[in-house]
Amino acid sequence: MRILCVEDDPKIRAALASAIEAAGYVVDTSPDGEDAWFRGDTENYAAVILDLGLPGMDGLSVLKRWRENGRTFPVIILTARGSWRERVEGMDAGADDYLPKPFEMEELLARLRAALRRTAGIANPVVTHGGVALDTRQMRVTRNGAAVALSPQEYRLVAYMLHNSDRVVPQHELAEHLQGEYGDRESNAVEVLVGRVRKKLGADFIETRRGFGYALGGP
């Protein structure tokens, strides 16, 4: 799943990016409001971490403009500690959750997982489909109770499909969420990855819908 991380402080930005990446996501970063607004308006993100105090366009304005333009991805805002007004304004502007600074990275990651689950309509941190179970806290996948070793890209593929189990995911969307903006967008790369996941999780785990994309195999 591809996450946008908006923070003007380079140290915090780098720490956020490496922690989120280590947790199995693909990360884009943005240092200011104008750039962040453009990315969120034109790219496809599973969730956004948004600092409110930004140079240029502030975070609250960025969020309002996304929501006005119908961008629905979950947004977690980073706010100044003690500023309850900022939090209220942020939630009212369409934020899904907030975290006062300074924060513990573990808490941010837990909130991110929860936001992604809510968006997918999943209540349990262990997401299951057939005999396959994905524990998003431990980044572990099991099949019929047995642990399955996955590469980071295979894990991202399984996580994305399980969080979008109710629809057909177009190939280009999957490529974006697996590889980020600088990734290999060759359709073949996704097909090869899907093939590897089928070998590990069963041939019917992911179905190819020719001309449309991929869907979890039923039931």
Cα–Cα nearest to 112, from 91, 130, 98, 92: 98
Calpha distance 14→141 (Å, rounded): 28
6: its two tokens? 């908006």
Number of residues in contact with Ca ion, rule: CB under 5 A? 3
Residue nearest to Ca ion (CB): 53
Stretch that binds Ca ion, among 19-27, 48-56, 134-142, 175-183 (CB under 5 A): 48-56
| Contact mark string toward Ca ion, 1..40, x via CB under 5 A | -------x--------------------------------
Q: Binding to Ca ion by residue 100, rule CB under 5 A?
A: no
List, in order, residues 6 or more apart from 26 with CB less than 8 Å away: 1, 2, 3, 156, 177, 178, 179, 180, 183
> Closest CB to Ca ion among 12 and 120?
12
Cα–Cα nearest to 1, from 122, 142, 176: 176
How far apart are CB 9 and Ca ion at their closest, in Å? 6
> Closest CB to Ca ion among 70 and 102?
102
Binder among 31, 53, 183, 202 for Ca ion (CB under 5 A): 53
* DSSP H/E element including 19: helix 10-22
By the criterion CB under 5 A, which residues form the site for Ca ion?
8, 51, 53
